[in-house]
């Protein structure tokens, strides 16, 4: 029960941080009389957010298809499922380069995303 409440609290924090950070930057740029840069920032943030959401949902769909094909080939080959799943999980990318790419990707969206999601939620 406590873990569920903690996850919900972190999700709400992520959503608020994702909404409030670009609004704060937009307001700061407008106050500094840089409306052109504020508009450019808002357009780029919206475009990048849309692109990242579309690519995330496409990635999840491809992962589900990949897992379905793994299970289907396991049953067709009449092999045990445990070694196939173990090898599938071992084959997933790991390492510092992957972590660096994720930090760069999430920090572009919002600097708090990496701290909130990757450090505390996982």
Residues 5-36 pLDDT 10s:
666 776 676 666 666 777 777 788 888 888 78
> What is the overall mean pLDDT for the chain?
76
CA-based nearest residue to 102, from 86, 119, 88:
119
Q: Is the pTM of this model over 0.75?
A: no
Confidence of residue 52 (pLDDT cuts 50, 70, 90): confident
pLDDT in tens, 84-111: 888 888 887 777 787 777 777 766 666 6
Give the C-alpha separation, 106 to 15, whole Å: 13
User: Rounded to an integer, what is the distance from CA 64 to the centroid of its chain?
Assistant: 16
Confidence of residue 81 (pLDDT cuts 50, 70, 90): confident
Give the C-alpha separation, 3 to 93, whole Å: 27
Give the C-alpha separation, 25 to 28, whole Å: 5
- Give pLDDT, residue 106: 67
């Amino acid at each position: 029960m406590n873990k569920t409440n903690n996850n919900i609290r972190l999700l709400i924090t992520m959503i608020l941080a994702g909404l409030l950070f670009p609004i704060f930057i937009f307001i700061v740029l407008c106050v500094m009389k840089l409306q052109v840069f504020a508009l450019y920032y808002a357009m780029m943030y919206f475009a990048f957010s849309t692109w990242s959401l579309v690519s995330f949902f496409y990635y999840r769909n491809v992962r589900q298809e990949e897992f379905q094909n793994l299970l289907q080939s396991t049953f067709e080959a009449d092999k045990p499922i445990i070694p196939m799943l173990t090898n599938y999980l071992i084959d997933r990318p790991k390492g510092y380069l992957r972590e660096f790419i994720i930090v760069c990707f999430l920090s572009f969206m919002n600097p708090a995303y990496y701290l909130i999601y990757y450090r505390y939620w996982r």
